[in-house]
Amino acid sequence: MLLPAIAKISLVGLAAAQPYPYQFPDCVNGVVASNKVCDRSLTPPERAAAIVEAMNITEKLANLVRSAQGASRIGLPRYNWWNEALHGVAYAPGVNFPENPPFNAATSFPMPVLLAAAFDDDLIEKVGNVIGTEARAWGNFGYSGIDFWTPNVNTFKDPRWGRGSETPGEDALRVSRYAGAMVRGLEGDKAERRIVATCKHYAGNDFEDWNGVSRHDFDARLTLQDMAEYYLLPFQQCARDSQVGSIMCAYNAVNGVPSCANDYLMETILRGHWNWTESNNYITSDCEAVLDVSENHHYVETNAEGTAICFIRGMDNSCEYESSSDIPGAWEQGLLPENVVDRALRRTFEGLVWAGYFDGEASEYAGLGWEDVNTPEAQELALQTAVDGIVLLKNDGTLPLELEADSSLAMIGFWADDSSKIIGGYSGRPPFTRSPVFAAEQLGYTVNFATGPILESDCSNDTWTADALSAARDSDHILYFGGIDTSAAGETLDRYSIEWPRAQRALIKALSDLGKPLVVVQLGDQLDNSPLLRTEGVNSILWTSWPGQDGGTAVMQLITGAKSPAARLPVTQYPAAYVDQIPITEMSLRPTDEKPGRTYRWYSSAVQPFGFGLHYTEFDINFESFPTSFSIQDLVAGCDNTYPDTCAFEPLSIQVVNAGTRQSDYVALAFVAGEYGPQPYPIKTLATYGRLRDLEAGGSASIELTWTLGDIARRNEQGDTVLYPGTYKVLLDEPTVTTLEFELTGEAAVLDHWPAPE
């Protein structure tokens, strides 16, 4: 009963009294920078400058790294900047999970790619709010810092990327809106940040280690057009529009210059063009990325030179495992000026000022504690997000299963009864994990369980088929839980095949031959489902990615019909042959005579396309009235925003009728197509989306989709955002169920001039 009382006392006193890894600065005794940094009447820049001015050069250099040593002489404690919270507070060098409550578990949501599949920005903000609240509670009690390296907003353009599930999918608009909603949730809506969020990895980062090429030595060659419209668009949302507290520069180079030494990316674009300076935000390196500048990119000769050039060109903190940057060498050799050191420290300390690090109990978020972690509302949200994100990819009417109280289920596969598989990467310790078998047994059904293979196991050493067939023969329905497992050998890195593992295909075929209802529930990233889609004996397919702590419950709610699926694929499902047609290192999006295009915008032969998803009901959908013509010059003249691409365009209103027999959500996806703007034209481009909730069978409702001028504009070869005249076609849903057309008249207008590199 001690901890509830502890949560109410002074943060400083708490940190001093308990054996926790971190302490807050001692502002009570007035020893931090002569108390100027603790003076809330000063501006954040003044407070940050005060602490830098109070430090000697030895102390300054010791605080340029992620494991900052602090300065005991002035009452500044050490601080570890490496804290993680991708889909819940996660293990990291700066995050401690004690063995005992209350801070031994954090709510674990589905992986971001499944969160994105819900296509609901309000839902994402709620998730961010829970994660941010729990993360700050962790920090308040000294179990972590108060900055967290999340969200990952790189685009998931190639299915082989081993960490693609950390991102919100392949579409730049979807990733951007996810980023905006998540940052709002994480950092909070007050003047003080709840935590400092970090958008990563800037820029062009989307593979790990493939065919002899590593992210540590890769040079991403990006055209200005691809850069502006795709690879950097989510970072524009983070920096320009959301003013996120921090951004992480990536391992790879971009157009010959390592990201963490790339002044075009960090100064010209980030701090210049996007005006990411309102709160003196800071840039941290990815871990050991500074060493890559000399060691792997060979951009300079020595690590000391590489270290200096990264700080000079705009990086503010070096993430080191041990001593992968050479800050002492850069200083001793006269390569690193003190004014650059001071600038970096002012930016990082100001980030902590904005998060109330020096405010003690006066911090707006000082009251967050153990009672704000793992709340019933958070647990319910974790379940809801899994249900909302799981995508129905095939169904011949088998789902939802019509089950009786005494129905028996064969639950077969490597993750059917292994709840450790449902969490995903960059995770912490959840309060519980519920497997599908557990959830089915809680509902009272008889479960006949048998395990199954994971990867390319040798079928001649088959130890599973006999048990699986026996379980299936003894059951009314067969549920097969397969896919790929990120914790299995090789799956933590990039893949070379996107086929279903051979041993799993063989088992699915054997089960389908029994002639009983067979539902495949797929874990992990997308695979080529062609064999399963063709097989009549495979009646239904659900894709679950990694559904989080209550993933088993979510799966059973959908299978039994307690809930109805409405999610859509946030990525393209490619045919297996795609991996032989284009290397993962190819960054160009547009197709050529030699290579296919990338993502749904440029690739037309998907097995199942971006935006695809089935329902248990039928919908009749139509556009409501919409103007047929707009003047470009009138649209621009009526826009007073600093950035014209953010000005609102006429909303789309859609009438939705649930013509079926089950209550369901409906996700409205509106794409734009048409031969206007630069060649070659995309097939279509997502322009806006929204989710209508809980539409009763037989009911109808309207949903209004908002969008901006930038959402219908295109980027030219120079990267400029241009509103072009022409006939625009709006395509609703995937596949398209209805269309409308409107015309933009007048002269093309540039909404944003993309700066060219020198």
CA gap 399, 405 in Å, rounded: 17
Q: 198, 284 in Cβ contact below 8 A?
A: yes
CA gap 437, 349 in Å, rounded: 49
Determine phi and psi for 389, rounding to 5 degrees: -100, -20
Residue 15 has pLDDT above 50, yes or no: no
Q: Residue 140, Cα to own-chain centre: how many angstroms?
A: 25
CA angle 474, 475, 479 (to 5 degrees): 130
CA gap 202, 262 in Å, rounded: 10
User: Strand 253-254 and strand 219-220: pairing?
Assistant: parallel
Give rounded-to-5 percent helix, strand, coil for the chain: 30, 20, 50
| The pLDDT value given to residue 3 | 27
* Average pLDDT rounded to a whole number, residues 569-580: 98
Residue 647 has pLDDT above 50, yes or no: yes
Q: How do residues 342-397 score in pLDDT, each as one tens digit?
A: 999 999 999 999 999 999 899 999 999 999 999 999 999 999 999 999 999 999 99
Query: Which of 442-456, 464-478, 487-501, 657-671 has the weakest average pLDDT?
Result: 487-501
Exposed / middle / buried, residue 59 (Cβ in 10 Å: 0-12, 13-18, 19+):
buried
Q: How confident is the model at residue 19 (pLDDT cuts 50, 70, 90)?
A: very low
Does residue 417 carry a catalytic annotation?
no
What's the pTM value of the predicted model, to 2 decimals?
0.95
| The pLDDT value given to residue 156 | 98
Q: How do residues 690-702 score in pLDDT, each as one tens digit?
A: 999 999 999 999 9
CA angle 527, 530, 531 (to 5 degrees): 105
Q: How do residues 133-142 score in pLDDT, each as one tens digit?
A: 999 999 999 9
Q: How do residues 525-552 score in pLDDT, each as one tens digit?
A: 999 999 999 999 999 999 999 999 999 9
Nearest in space to 557 (alpha carbons), one of 702, 389, 431, 738: 389
Average per-residue pLDDT in the chain? 93
| The pLDDT value given to residue 27 | 81
| The pLDDT value given to residue 4 | 28
Q: What domains are there in the chain, each with its CATH number?
A: 8-77+200-363 (3.20.20.300), 384-580 (3.40.50.1700), 619-752 (2.60.40.10)
- Looking up tokens 């915008």 gives 601
| The pLDDT value given to residue 252 | 98
Q: 686, 174 in Cβ contact below 8 A?
A: yes
Residue 322 has pLDDT above 90, yes or no: no
| The pLDDT value given to residue 459 | 63
Catalytic residue among 121, 206, 286, 550: 286
